Structure 1
Amino acid sequence: MVSAGRAAAVSAAPGSATAEGLLDRLAGVTDPRDPRGVRYALATLLAIGVCAMSAVGHNSLTAIAEWVRRCDQRELRRLGCPFNPFTGRYRVPDERTLRDAYSRVDPTDLTAVGFGYLATLARPGPAPLTPDGVAEREQRRAHRAVAADPPRRRAIAVDGKCLRGAKRPDGSQVFILSAVRHADAVTLAARQIGAKTNEIPEFAPLLDQIGDTDLTGSVITVDALHAQRAHAVYLVEQRHAHYLITVKDNQPTLAATLRALPWKQVPVLHRQTGRGHGREEIREVQVVTVDDLLFPHARQVVRIRRRRRQLGTKKWTTEVVYAITDLPTHQARPEEIAAWAREHWTIENSVHWIRDVTFGEDASQIRTHHTPAVMAALRD
């Protein structure tokens, strides 16, 4: 909630113009606490977390509690803290109050409310400048690409992330599965993965949290772990969405079938060259039309050949990736498929990276009940 909408939502000082709007949205999160003895509204405690995290360094519950203690009376009033008539001052929640509330909140509910808030603030496409106003090269390149030939369909990336510092009582690590829009890196839904399961059975429940308005007709991009027949059937037949799935050797029969196609006879339909991060990259896309091909509703197979070299060297490395989609040729051009495949890493570059580097998520050792997932939702 912070990383995607920080600039437009609430700044480090909670007296910004949209603070009341944030409180109104957070009031939609179900409060699981016993109403007897509750002193602070749940929306207030969550808003404190959002505002504190927007100031880099306040990444733990202790830091959040210290941040709110430094707030002045005007800021506490805008955050919705209760007024003490005996002291004539607004009350300040302590770390224990924050920890108890966050451990009880349903992170799925919080993510849904956060998306509803950020959706009204997010730009329709990548901006020409970074949030800091810097004309960064990759930002300009993405802006020009979308402005010149935008994909005809919305795209949503689904991927999981391990919260490396957080552990359950049994010692297992906490994983979060998220669905993120390509265009603006806004998290539509997130789901904590159970201790005795993995991402695969959580795929459909995650997307069930997204309404038909956002999912119908969209392209869902996933990595090779989700190259599951049941996922394809669910997306196309139940949710009327589309898929672009990377295929690797975890599905050996399907991967061997894709490699055996007559690629030497297939022309390169899209080529893109780019420079950035100290390297040069050439991407070539070949497409073959198929009919199901051992996978439900498959209509096109994509072969993406990436050649890279570090600037100042002559050695090239080559990587070949295969993917399948249910969209026929007239609904998905090669350049659109290439854009979706590349933008799938939005969830890594614009969400996971910000959580880890800016907010220090992997270093966080918060581990009580739902607290790790709730903190992840606040960082989104």
Structure 2
Amino acid sequence: MPIETSCFDNLPDPRGSNARYPLNDVLFIALCAVISGAEDCSDMALFARSKADFLGRFLSLPHGTPSHDTFSRVFRYLDPKAFHEQFLTFMSDFAAQLKGVVAVDGKSLRRAYDHVDGQSPLHLVNVWAVEQRLVLGQLLVDEKSNEIQAVPDILEWLSLTDVTITADAMHCQRSLSRQITEANGQYVLAVKGNQKTLFDDIRFMMEHEADTTVVTDSGHGRIETRSATVVSDLNWLQEGHQWPGLGAVGRITRRRELANKTTEETAYYLLSDAMSPARMIDVTRQHWAIENSLHWVLDVTFKEDENRTRRGHGAENLALLRKLALNATEREPSKGSKKGKRKKAGWDDDYLLAIIQQFAQLR
């Protein structure tokens, strides 16, 4: 079976011209290893040794397989911006045809910190195509509050026509709303106290509005009810705020009943489109797929929160490599969990080849 192994040829090698192992080979092996269950650079070296015959079918390895130190050095010094640009190249065809809900949210790498150097955990902003279950990009920010500056940079390369961007209240910013609407996209943005005057005016305007749609779910010992309403008559509100692209405002009240406890919360949203209350409930629920289908998978299946890589750019680059592996396993069409697919890739060389072929098609 022919296989594409030159995925990373365009990346500059930070080690110079006298490196024993070509950068493309190291990254290709690392990607195969992570797809097959590797969690860190030691695992990558073990995978390479165990699969030397398999890798030798596609790569020239005159010096044997790379060591833990080689993998660690590459990820520590590899330019994360160039690596991310390569990731965007892989995803460019898909991004140009993007549709549906795209969720934006941040995630901290809890173990990627250093008490001695005063280094805080790395915080990455992730962009997630909900329906397609694919990662579209990541961007490192210095701290959680800097997500506001990061999101516009990520969205610049996406085609937003027929796309609805969802984000939490941190991203309820005029500049972001303007950017999305000028790119022919739509938005559903939570609004809270960070836009206090706007938030108070929306609550006042909707105080006597009756909920028009109720959706009830049950399971796992709980009953959850969502009541929603959408208001599109915004003359009074827009006189004072002139919010870019605003087409409606919405309210969702969530009531959660457990065996011994009942909680209720109300959230307010800015909508670029006067959608139905049922549609608003659906879109806001899809937003949280980034927690359940991306962040949870990275922590539980890929053990991201347990990874203690800290030096140089290692943590950021390995986070992106995990997302490449996640996208590759998602695009492989057979049924099964990501955990199961990774195990099978480690055990079955032909199946690993099938996943890598899917990855090659991202180019």
Q: TM-score, normalised by structure 2?
A: 0.78
Q: How far, CA to CA, are the matches of 2:120 and 2:211 in structure 1?
A: 48
Cα 1:76–1:195 shift into 2, 3 Å: farther
1:246 aligns with 190
Q: How far, CA to CA, are the matches of 1:191 and 1:301 in structure 2?
A: 29
The Cα of 1:323 is off from its aligned counterpart by 0.6
Q: Give the one of 9, 31, 40 matched to 1:50.
A: 31
1:278 aligns with 221
Q: How far, CA to CA, are the matches of 2:144 and 2:221 in structure 1?
A: 41
1:159 aligns with 105
In the alignment, structure 1 residue 378 sits paired with structure 2 residue 321? yes
Q: Give the one of 108, 124, 134 matched to 1:186.
A: 134
The Cα of 1:157 is off from its aligned counterpart by 0.6
* Deviates further, 108-117 or 42-51: 108-117
1:242-300 CA distance string (max 9 Å, x none) = 211001122221211111124433341x3222123432211121001125632322111
In the alignment, structure 1 residue 105 sits paired with structure 2 residue 78? yes
The Cα of 1:314 is off from its aligned counterpart by 6.5
Cα 1:153–1:59 shift into 2, 3 Å: closer
Correspondence list, 1:292-371, <5 A = 293=238, 294=241, 295-310=243-258, 313=259, 315-327=261-273, 329=274, 332-371=275-314
The Cα of 1:108 is off from its aligned counterpart by 4.4
In the alignment, structure 1 residue 174 sits paired with structure 2 residue 122? yes
1:235 aligns with 180
Contact 2:108 2:122 in 1 (8 A): yes
Which letter maps to 1:251?
A: Q
The Cα of 1:53 is off from its aligned counterpart by 2.0
* Deviates further, 62-71 or 179-188: 62-71
1:250 match: secondary structure: helix
Contact 1:177 1:193 in 2 (8 A): yes
Q: How far, CA to CA, are the matches of 2:143 and 2:166 in structure 1?
A: 25
Sequence identity of aligned pairs in percent?
A: 28
Contact 1:224 1:248 in 2 (8 A): yes
Q: How far, CA to CA, are the matches of 1:188 and 1:372 in structure 2?
A: 18
More helix, by proportion: 2
1:71 aligns with 51
1:264 aligns with 208
Aligned-residue RMSD, C-alpha: 2.8
Cα 1:271–1:174 shift into 2, 3 Å: same
1:206 aligns with 154
The Cα of 1:153 is off from its aligned counterpart by 5.3
The Cα of 1:222 is off from its aligned counterpart by 0.5
In the alignment, structure 1 residue 83 sits paired with structure 2 residue 56? no
* Deviates further, 181-190 or 191-200: 191-200
Q: How far, CA to CA, are the matches of 1:283 and 1:97 in structure 2?
A: 52
Contact 2:99 2:161 in 1 (8 A): no
Which letter maps to 2:231?
A: V
Q: How far, CA to CA, are the matches of 1:119 and 1:108 in structure 2?
A: 16
Which letter maps to 1:276?
A: G
Q: Paired residues, what number?
A: 315
Q: How far, CA to CA, are the matches of 2:267 and 2:104 in structure 1?
A: 18
Which letter maps to 1:232?
A: S
Correspondence list, 1:217-236, <5 A = 217-236=162-181
Cα 1:334–1:108 shift into 2, 3 Å: farther
